[in-house]
Each structure stands twice: as C-alpha cells, then as structure tokens.
C-alpha cells in the first residue's frame, strides 16, 4: 500500500516501535497536571487544534518521541513514525526581547509573593496576568504565532508528530515550569540570578562555560545542561540570597515562633459506645439488638 492509496497521509502505516523514547506519564484521560501545562493545551485547543491534537496522544503515550529540546524561540524534536528515519519537528514561538524581560523581572522582584514562588520552583497563576499587563502574553494568542514544521509527508498541521510533541512539551512544563519561560527567552539560572539581584541578594559568579541556550528534555524530567552543580531546590532557593542575621541579635527570639501558633484544638469527651449508637442495631441474622447491647456493655468495661 502506497502513501496515497489510503487517501490520507495521516493514515499511512503504523509507527515503528521504539525503545527508550520519551513516554507521557499520563496513561489515560487528559495530559497536564499543573495549571500552566493545562493552560498551554487549552490555548492550543482554542485555536481549533483540539481534534488534530488528539491524533498525537497515542504517539506521546507510546514513547514515539525520541528527543525533545527546548531553546529560546523554538522547540525541536525527533519523532519515530512509520519510516525508518525519525521525523524532524520544529515548533517556533517568538521569544520576548531583553528589554521586555527586564521590565517583567523588575515587576516580579517588586512583589515578594512572586519572587518566593519562582525561587521555590513554582509559577503562580497571577504571573500570566503580569505578563499580559506588560504587553507580553505568556502563552501564544493565536495560531499564527506558532510556526509548525515536520519532515513527514502528512499535509495536516499539526500532524501526529507535531501533536505528540505538543503533549510531551506540556508534560515537560509540568516537570520544570522554567522550560516555558526558557522557550520565551529566559533560562532558569539567568532569571533567578536577576531576581536575587533585584531583591538585594548577592549573585554568585557562575563557573560554567557550557552553552546554556537549550534545555534537553528526557524522561521523566527536564534537565538543563548549563549548570555544573545542581541548582538549590525547595526552601534552599528562597534562602540562597538571604544573608544570615548575627546570633547575638536574634538570641532572645530564637524560641519564639515567627507567626502566632493556633490554639490547641478542643477535645470532645464521648462515651465508648458512640460508634455503636451511630451504626444502629445490627441485622437479626447476626444478633440484632441483643448483640448491640452485649457490645455496649463490653465497650463500657474496656473504657474503664
């Protein structure tokens, strides 16, 4: 059967099975756990791409995507189809210019809530509004903003290989929200260093000389190849830029909680037969009210 005998390129052949591909973590239902990955897919579906996107869901879950790279302005991927040579996929999205990033960084640094969440490796939902107010919507506003290319013979856009890449990209955003910001032109290290600097912290010199222009996505997490040592995680990110206070100045507050603790919750005095009263009398087949009374006397003795 030739490619055109079936009437559609999209229906030509079954994909070749691959080992070690990037397999979607979601095995059924919707893909995307975080608000930003779900929002990304919702935006794509709003471009009337919903039915076309679903064509690539099985590819994403079968591990047909061999490689996924995120760089400023473009996402590239290798997707195994029915032919021996994998198809080359590219999804372009214009990155924000440096002056716009500088404006956004100043606004983020001016709000401790945003800074703390980003330094802890999280994206607050309000960040989307902040980017929009700066004239730089975080997500594409129209399908024309995205350039979609695949080397397969399918004329549909997106084809199954592009659609699979979109799904794996959404899961890459789940694993590392900074991959979304990297696609828009600012990598994790540069953004966090800039926020610490604007917040009055110190920025340690980066000793790496590797190229930091791309993020390589592997299963199941996103790994950046630009850092020599792992970046601090969790609370360490928040505390990294804070200078410790002298012990003599804080010794009188050492055992004082930073925020008022809630009162101890009240205790409820109940009888040992409370559960029996809630359940009611058992069925006659297992003893009826007589069993209930025997259990009540037993519970009372155990309570004493």
Contact call for residues 166 and 75 (beta carbons, < 8 A): no
CA-to-CA separations, 189 to 141, 193, 204, 215, 254, in angstroms, rounded:
27, 6, 11, 12, 33
SS3 149: strand
* pLDDT of the residue at 5: 35
Say which residue the tokens 């008022």 belong to: 260
Could you give the dihedral angle defined by the CA atoms of residues 113, 214, 25 and 54, in that order, rounded to the nearest 10 degrees?
Answer: 100
pLDDT band at 291 (very low <50, low <70, confident <90, very high): confident
* pLDDT of the residue at 174: 86
Say which residue the tokens 């095995």 belong to: 27
**pLDDT tens digits, 109-158:** 888 877 788 877 788 888 888 898 888 899 998 889 999 999 999 888 88
**Positive/negative CA dihedral, 249, 254, 257, 258:** positive
**pLDDT tens digits, 201-239:** 544 444 443 444 555 554 434 434 433 344 444 444 444
In the chain, the percentage of residues whose pLDDT exceeds 70 is: 65
């Amino acid at each position: 059967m030739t490619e055109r005998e079936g009437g559609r390129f999209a229906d030509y052949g079954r994909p070749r099975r691959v080992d070690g591909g990037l397999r979607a973590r979601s095995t059924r239902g919707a893909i995307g756990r975080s608000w930003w990955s779900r929002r990304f897919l919702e935006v794509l579906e709003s471009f009337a791409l919903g039915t076309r996107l679903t064509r690539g869901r099985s590819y994403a879950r079968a591990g047909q995507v061999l490689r996924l790279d995120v760089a400023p302005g473009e996402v590239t991927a290798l997707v195994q189809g029915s032919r021996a040579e994998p198809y080359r996929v590219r999804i372009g999205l214009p990155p924000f210019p440096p002056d716009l990033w500088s404006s956004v960084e100043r606004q983020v640094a001016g709000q401790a809530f945003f800074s703390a969440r980003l330094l802890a490796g999280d994206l607050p939902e309000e960040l989307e509004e902040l980017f929009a107010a700066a004239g730089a919507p975080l997500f594409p506003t129209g399908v024309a903003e995205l350039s979609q290319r695949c080397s397969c013979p399918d004329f549909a856009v997106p084809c199954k290989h592009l659609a699979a890449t979109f799904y794996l990209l959404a899961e890459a955003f789940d694993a590392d929200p900074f991959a979304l910001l990297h696609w828009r032109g600012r990598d994790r290290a540069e953004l966090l260093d800039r926020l610490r600097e604007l917040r009055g912290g110190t920025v340690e010199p980066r000793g790496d000389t590797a190229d930091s222009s791309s993020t390589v996505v592997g299963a199941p997490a996103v790994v950046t190849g630009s850092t020599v040592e792992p970046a601090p995680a969790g609370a360490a990110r928040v505390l990294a830029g804070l200078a410790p206070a002298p012990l003599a100045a804080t010794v009188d507050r050492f055992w004082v909680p930073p925020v008022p603790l809630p009162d101890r919750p009240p205790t409820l005095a109940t009888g040992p037969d409370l559960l029996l009263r809630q359940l009611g009398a058992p069925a006659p087949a297992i003893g009826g009210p007589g069993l209930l009374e025997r259990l009540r006397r037993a519970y009372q003795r155990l309570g004493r």
